[in-house]
Each structure stands twice: as C-alpha cells, then as structure tokens.
Amino acid sequence: MKKEMTVSKGTTLFGELRTNNKIKLEGRVEGSGIINNTLLVSSDGVWIGNIIADVVIVDGTVEGNIVAKQKLLLLANAKVFGSLYSKNIHVEKGAVLTGKLQMNAPAPLALINDPLNYKSDPDLLESGVLETAALTDVLENNTSAGSRKLTYPKVGVA
C-alpha cells in the first residue's frame, strides 16, 4: 500500500525531508527534499530549498532547484525561482520560471550529493523571467482543458 503525506496549510517544516512516500505540500517547507516518489506543491504551497524527486508537480511556489528524475509539471499558477533538471517537462500557460531549464544536461553533482547546501549561480536568477505565454504554440498540442485537476498522474517510464 502506497502512503501519502500532506503538509497542511499553516504548517512549516524546517530541515531536510527524505521519504519514499508521496508528498502533498499545502503549507511551507524550508530545506531540501529527497523524495523517491511524487511531490505535489499545491497552489498555497511554498518550498524554499532544493528538491530531488521522481515526479514533481508545481502549482505553488518553489525557490530552489528541482531535479525531477521522471517528470516535471509546472501548472498555470506555478512560480519557480531556480534551475530545473528533467528529461520530461510539461509547462502550462501562465507558469513562471526565473532561472534555467535543462532537459539534456544532468544536474550538477554537487546538487545531487548535497542538496541542502547547494546554491545556484546568482547570475542565472537575474537573467530574466520565462513566462509560458511565449511557449503557447509548443504547448497547445500537449495541454487539455482537464489537465488542471490536482491529482497524481500515472507516470510511465519510457
């Protein structure tokens, strides 16, 4: 039986979070996370720190780097400040990324080995904001009207 942990609205966790369970974040985390499963940052959720997870779904705010080993989804309300590393990325119109997007390059070893202390190059975060309105043509074929439902998608590994 797979388990799910919810960090409720009004709750703040500090430090490093390591788990094999699904995480639904409605509150706040300040620290790094290594999640061998799915992380859902809901629209009220805030994560400040680096994240390494199998699947990451962001509809809230993340201030840190994200390594999604299988899939990364930035929903329309997402605000991400940091570098993204994943081979499978889906971005809805309205999501905002301030930082770097890497699809073909591996995450830095320093981030993988020590996510709690890894810091991004500050110049990357000042390079501008990527708003997905510029990606509308690319995304129109991949976005359906029902894709906003906040549930854990079935993820297959190709």
The verdict on residue 138 lying in a domain is no
Q: Is residue 149 situated within a structural domain?
A: no
Question: Which domain, by its residues, includes 83?
Answer: 4-124
Whether residue 129 is contained in a domain is answered as: no
Number of domains within the chain:
1
SS (H, E, C) 27-55: CEEECCEEEEEEEEECCCCEEECCEEEEE
Q: What is the pLDDT of residue 56?
A: 97
> Does 147 fall in a domain?
no
Residue 151 lies inside a defined structural domain of this protein: no
* β-sheet bridge partners, residue 53: 35, 68
pLDDT tens track for 18-55: 999 999 999 999 999 999 999 999 999 999 999 999 99
In a domain, 132, yes or no: no
pLDDT higher than threshold 80 for residue 146: no
**Average pLDDT for 91-95:** 93
| pLDDT score of 67 more than 90 | yes
Note whether residue 25 is domain-resident: yes
